[in-house]
A and B are shown apart, each in its own frame.
Chain A
Amino acid sequence: MSIFDGIGTIREFYLDQLEYSNTINEPDFLVNAAAQVLKKYGGKNWVPIIIKDIGDDKYEVIGNSFVYAVAKAAKLEKILSIVIESTDEAEEISKILSKEVPPKINLSTANKDEIKAKFEYLKSQSNSPLSKIQPNSIENIANKIVKSNRQYWTDLTPLGNLGTNNLVKENLEFISKGFYLTPIEPPEPPKINLSIANRDQIMEGLEFLKEERKLNIDVLDASTKLEQAEKKYWIDYKGVLDLKIKIKDDKLDDFKSVFSLRPELLELPLNIDALTIKKLQEIVKKMGLFIKTRPAKKDYIEAIQKSINSLVNTSEDS
Chain B
Amino acid sequence: MNSSMTPDLSQLLEKMPKSALSTVVSGGFVTPFLQFLEYDQFSDIYQNFPTGNGDRSDYAVKKTKPNEPSFVETVATNAFKSEPEIIGEVKPRNYSLEEGTGSYESTLNQLKGYLLDPNCQSAKWGFLTNANHIQWFRKHGKVIHPVTASIEINPSNIIDVANDIKALIAEYPKALTVAIYNNKGGIGKTTAAINLAGTLARLDKKVLLIDFDHHQQDLSILLGINNKNHLIKLSDVILKRHKISSTITSISGKFKNQNNSVVNRSFDVIPGDEFMNWERTPEIQYTVVGKTLKQILKPLVNNYDYIIIDTPPNQSLFTYNSLYSSDVVLIPARHDDISSLVNAARAIVNFLPEVQNSRRKNERQGSSCTDAGPIPLPIFLNGGKPTDAAKKLMIESVQEVVSLFNQSHRIDLSEYFFPNHKPGDPNYKIFSVPEYAIIAKAAFKNKPAVFLHNTAYSYYHQLVKEYFLQ
Contacts and interface: CB of A to CB of B under 8 A. Distances in A.
Interface of A: 1-2, 4-6, 9-12, 14, 53-57, 80, 86
Interface string B278-292: 000001001101110
A5 B286 contact: no
A55 B364 contact: yes
A86 B365 contact: yes
Contacts of B295: 57
B361 A11 contact: no
Interface of B: 241, 283, 286-287, 289-291, 295, 317, 320-321, 324, 354-355, 357-358, 361-362, 364-367
13 contacts: A4-B290, A4-B320, A4-B321, A4-B324, A4-B358, A5-B290, A5-B291, A6-B290, A14-B241, A53-B362, A54-B365, A55-B364, A86-B365
A11 B287 contact: yes
Contact of A10 (B241, B286, B365, B366): B286
Contacts of A9: 289
Contacts of B355: 2
Contacts of B354: 2
Nearest to B317: A4
A5 B366 contact: no
Nearest to A10: B286
Nearest to B362: A5
B290 A2 contact: yes
A54 B357 contact: no
Main secondary structure of the interface of B (DSSP, over half): helix
A140 B287 CA distance: 55
Nearest to B296: A57
Given A4-B324, A5-B361, A55-B366, 15 more contacts: A2-B290, A2-B320, A2-B357, A4-B289, A4-B290, A4-B321, A6-B291, A12-B283, A12-B287, A14-B241, A54-B365, A55-B364, A55-B365, A55-B367, A56-B365
A57 B295 CA distance: 7
Which 4 pairs of residues, A with B, have the shortest CB-CB distance? A6-B289, A55-B365, A4-B290, A4-B320
A53 B365 contact: yes
B65 to A, nearest CB: 33
A34 B420 CA distance: 67
Nearest to A52: B365
Contacts of B289: 4-6, 9, 11
Contacts of B321: 4
Contacts of B365: 53-56, 86
A275 B354 CA distance: 89
